[in-house]
């Protein structure tokens, strides 16, 4: 007969689905603002957070949040200088952060630590405490994102127009960067450092051809994200493939399908 899912599987589903919903509007704004590289840098600085957590003996998620937020603060500072395009700075920073993280973990703890679980996530190891992080943190992030939604859409659309109409550009953006850092730190657990940006961006890309307004794009991205979590984890359960990459694969399949079928029509 039908087998009841194991608790670890339910935990993974609950965490993944919640994160997919939180990630959807953020992912849309990342796509609109073309800041995938910023997210990548935040994600790869997470490994430094892991090293920090291990060396200080504090909660790893908290340590990763601290590292990501600190990186976001540095990036906000870099955004103010106009000598170099942010892209060039990020190109250097995100590789440096990854390399430094790997070296720091190796030096601190020896090679016994499972680097793979940080790089690609370990969704089936999600604990009840992790779930708490996801739900409380996720609710706060979602609430703040919705609060900032209109200014962020207007700034993404045309910064000068939004500014002339009285929106101060740097405040919503700085808050958004910090929200993004926290989201990445929390989502890292599930899909890992290397795939967390895909988790954020791919559902938004998949939703773009299907949407006519910014809000619909975010909602469709959330639906695609949640569906991909279910499909990916189901696939993972029956094939023993790793969970995080399976979710991302399902998302990518949705994006390719959407772009192929609808892309031409939506233009």
Partner 1 sequence: MSNTKLHVSDEHRHDHAHDHDHAHDDACGCGHTHSRQLDNHALVSARGLAFSRHGRTILSGIDLDVRPGEIVTLIGPNGAGKTTLVKLVLGIESPDSGTVLMPPSTRIGYVPQRFDVQRAIPMTVAHFLALGQNAAPGAITAALKDVGAERTANQQLSQLSGGETQRVLIARALLRNPNLLVLDEPARGVDYVGEADLYDLIGRIRDERKLGVLLISHDLHVVMAKSDRVICLNGHVCCSGQPETVAQHAEYARLFGPQAASALGVYLHHHDHAHDLSGAPKPMRAGDQDNRGR
Binding site for partner 1 (CB under 8 A): 31-32, 34, 150, 153-154, 156-158, 160-161, 163-165, 208, 211-214, 216-217, 266-267
Minimal CA–CA distance to 137: which of 203, 76, 192, 68? 68
CA 224 to chain centre: 15
Cα separation, 267 vs 265, whole angstroms: 6
Instruction: Give the burial class of 23: count Cβ atoms within 10 A of its Cβ; 0-12 exposed, 13-18 middle, 19 or more buried.
Output: buried
As measured in angstroms, the least distance from the Cβ of 19 to partner 1 is 23
In the bound state with partner 1, the residue whose beta carbon lies nearer, of 85 and 164, is 164
Query: What SS3 state is found at 199?
Result: helix
As measured in angstroms, the least distance from the Cβ of 212 to partner 1 is 5
As measured in angstroms, the least distance from the Cβ of 43 to partner 1 is 21
Which tokens hold the place of 62?
């908290």
In the bound state with partner 1, the residue whose beta carbon lies nearer, of 188 and 206, is 206
In the bound state with partner 1, the residue whose beta carbon lies nearer, of 114 and 160, is 160
As measured in angstroms, the least distance from the Cβ of 160 to partner 1 is 5
Minimal CA–CA distance to 219: which of 13, 12, 36, 20? 20
In the bound state with partner 1, the residue whose beta carbon lies nearer, of 13 and 218, is 218
In the bound state with partner 1, the residue whose beta carbon lies nearer, of 95 and 168, is 168
As measured in angstroms, the least distance from the Cβ of 18 to partner 1 is 25
Q: Helices marked H in the chain — which ranges?
A: 7-33, 36-56, 60-80, 86-109, 115-120, 128-132, 138-157, 159-164, 170-191, 196-207, 214-239, 243-266
């Amino acid at each position: 007969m039908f087998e009841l899912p194991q608790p670890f599987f339910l935990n993974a589903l609950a965490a993944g689905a919640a994160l997919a919903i939180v990630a959807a509007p953020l992912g849309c704004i990342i796509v609109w603002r073309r800041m995938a590289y910023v997210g990548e840098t935040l994600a790869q600085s997470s490994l430094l957070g892991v090293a920090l957590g291990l060396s200080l003996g504090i909660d790893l998620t908290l340590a990763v949040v601290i590292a990501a937020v600190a990186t976001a603060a540095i990036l906000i500072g870099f955004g103010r200088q106009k000598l170099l395009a942010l892209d060039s700075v990020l190109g250097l920073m995100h590789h440096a952060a990854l390399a430094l993280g790997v070296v720091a973990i190796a030096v601190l703890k020896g090679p016994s630590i499972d680097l793979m679980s940080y790089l690609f996530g370990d969704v089936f190891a999600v604990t009840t405490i992790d779930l708490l992080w996801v739900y409380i943190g996720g609710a706060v992030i979602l609430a703040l994102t919705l609060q900032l939604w209109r200014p962020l859409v207007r700034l993404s659309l045309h910064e000068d127009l939004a500014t002339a109409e009285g929106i101060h550009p740097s405040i919503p953006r700085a808050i958004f960067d910090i929200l993004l850092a926290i989201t990445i730190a929390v989502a890292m657990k599930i899909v890992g450092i290397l795939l967390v940006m895909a988790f954020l961006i791919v559902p938004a890309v998949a939703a773009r051809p299907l949407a006519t307004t910014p809000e619909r794009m975010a909602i469709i991205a959330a639906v695609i994200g949640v569906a991909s979590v279910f499909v990916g984890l189901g696939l993972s359960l029956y094939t023993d493939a790793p969970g995080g990459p399976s979710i991302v694969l399902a998302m990518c399949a949705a994006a390719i399908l959407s772009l192929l079928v609808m892309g031409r029509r939506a233009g």
